[in-house]
Structure 1
Amino acid sequence: MYKLLIFDWDGTLIDSQARIIASMQAAAVELGHDPLCPEAVRNIIGLGLPEAIRELIPHIESDALDQMRERYAHHFLVENQTPTELYPGVERTLHSLKQQGYRLAVATGKSRRGLDRALTDTGLGKLFEITRCADETRSKPDPLMLHQILAEMAVPADEAVMIGDTEYDLEMGTRAGVPTVAVSYGAHHLDRLRGHRPLTEIHHFPELQIWLEELKDETTQGIVS
């Protein structure tokens, strides 16, 4: 039975794609880089910011990368006013899962500054026992982020689930020995996620709770029989 639910943030709990794309594009234009197409930026959602920038601008120098990081953060946190809303059912479902005794965590490619602001803005911070950000460890898909969460919470890998919308989330889970759940409504197309053999696919966030309840029922029936 799974005890720990580890969530990606952008594209899994909150719809922030438009803001991420617009902010990255604005930073690139401001600093004189070639324009970035939306699909290219969508593809790097989930990576840590330095890794994402290097994917988008492969030959960028260290100083220019630092400038891109700063300007992207400025646009995302200050300049860009594109709304970022929790996906339907997220808040209610997370509260319900917490009440049922599941332990909740976040593993994200966001910076600590960005995630803390998002947790405050959404009011969800109190629900998560631990959060880990890309600027505190290695970027997805490296499994270190999950290893650290599991170690700190003293939960075996096979008693946790990684829930995410990108290949980076699912690859990280696989490499850490953590089962995964694919989210179909986020940044990466479901066909890409299926290659990592997730336990299940969810198309609306509340489906996660339904799936977990079905697993409980199956376990209970197995014990009774």
Structure 2
Amino acid sequence: MSAPLKLILFDVDGTLVDSQHHIFDAMCAACARVELTPPSREEVLSIVGLSLSVAVEKLMPNAGAAQRDQMVEAYKDAFVQQRADLGTAATSPLFPGAEEAIRALHAVDENILGVATGKSRRGLDHILEGHGFSTLFITQQVADDHPSKPHPSMVQRALFETGVEPENAVIIGDTSFDMKMGAAGGIRRIGVDWGYHSRDELVDAGAELVLEGYEQLIPALDRMWRTA
């Protein structure tokens, strides 16, 4: 009897790539466009993972709708320009061990890799192409097509596209939004402590375990599937 298919969904910013400087600089540029004082780095990193329009609204609740719309467009412009100037490897470097883990998981026949991210399709494509991952992730869920995390829409669509049962699926992410999305979608949840939310935040949001490095991922998944 063959092993059941396993769906392994990854968040991107803060989980696969460390894009905090890129994100913060782009948000500062967006605030400058509308002549508003930018939030602190900690405030900006706290909303990483949300869809851009939702993130801007949370960061700037007192700004008018027109100002927030201008910020969204200015953020996109600054983000694209920085990436064009510096390249993907500089603006969104992989976390240590990420590539090795991804390629090892992809080599296992029953594993289906996927992405569930608050990035746009254009942004995700640049990340995957820049790191040579374009063919590795079978299901790719982006902010263009879904409500913002923690709504479970991304998880539900990934399950539908792959035909994997929820008990054989897991989300790996660095924020409480990822963990809440996974719980709402009925799948397993693994947090990582090298991203933008604290271990306590991840656990409180439903993480079943929190990793300290990518070398722990494959053993953790093996244990998790045995208890599914």
**TM-score, scaled relative to structure 2:** 0.90
Unmatched 5+ residue regions in structure 2? none
Match of 2:147 in 1: 138
How much has 1:2 moved relative to structure 2? 7.0
1:28-177 alignment runs, 5 A limit: 28-79=31-82, 81=86, 83-101=91-109, 102-177=111-186
Name the amino acid aligned to 2:115. V
CA RMSD of aligned residues (A): 1.7
Q: Secondary structure at the match of 1:51?
A: helix
Q: Secondary structure at the match of 1:127?
A: coil
Runs of 4+ in 1 over 6 A off after TM superposition: none
Name the amino acid aligned to 1:13. L
Q: Secondary structure at the match of 2:50?
A: coil
Identity %: 37
Deviates more, 1:72-81 or 1:90-99: 72-81
| Conserved 8 A contact 2:33-2:70 | no
Matched, 1:189 2:198: yes
Q: Flag the 1:185–1:160 CA change in 2: closer, same or farther, 3 A.
A: same
Deviations 1:108-142 (A, max 9, x none): 00111111111111111110001011121111001
Match of 2:13 in 1: 10
Match of 1:223 in 2: none
| Conserved 8 A contact 2:14-2:196 | yes
| Conserved 8 A contact 2:27-2:38 | no
Name the amino acid aligned to 2:199. L
Name the amino acid aligned to 1:90. A
Name the amino acid aligned to 1:179. R
How much has 1:83 moved relative to structure 2? 3.0
Deviations 1:132-189 (A, max 9, x none): 1112111100111111111111111111001000000000001111110011010001
Paired positions, count: 218
Deviates more, 1:58-67 or 1:24-33: 58-67
Unmatched 5+ residue regions in structure 1? 220-225
Q: Secondary structure at the match of 1:206?
A: helix
Quick one: distance in 1 between partners of 2:202 and 2:66?
34
| Conserved 8 A contact 2:180-2:206 | no
**TM-score, scaled relative to structure 1:** 0.91
